[in-house]
Amino acid sequence: MKCKFIASLAIASCLAWLPAAQAQTEKKAHRESPALERFAGLAGEWVGKGMHGDMGHETRVVYKVSSAGSVVVETIDPGTDHEMITVIHPDGDSLLLTHYCMLGN
């Protein structure tokens, strides 16, 4: 009985450290790429004015750090017919951006 208690305590202790370890992994990924860190600093929702021809409109952009801090996902006009996504991640010393456009290009 005492052995089961100690084993349970050890498992619970390891699980308690898991969120801290994940946070460290995310921070480490950012530090390894200063350019990605700049994009990660944009995390959150941004609202501004855009132009389409002569017509002005409100534009929303959401930046989300994902995959343990290894990518930043940019979503333009989320939830609309014009939604577009760009995934930003390190590629050696540079960044690679893959854009998924509403036009399919």
Q: Which two tokens stand for residue 81?
A: 């017919």
CA atoms within 13 A on the CB side of 91: 8
Q: What is this structure's pTM?
A: 0.66
3-state secondary structure of 6: helix
pLDDT number for residue 57: 84
How far apart are alpha carbons 70 and 40 in whole angstroms?
Answer: 10
Greatest CA separation found in the chain?
76
pLDDT at 28 over 70: no
The dihedrals phi and psi of 26, each to the nearest 5 degrees, come to -65, -45
State pLDDT tens for residues 37-90. Answer: 999 999 999 999 877 788 888 899 999 999 999 999 999 999 998 899 999 999
How far apart are alpha carbons 75 and 22 in whole angstroms?
Answer: 24
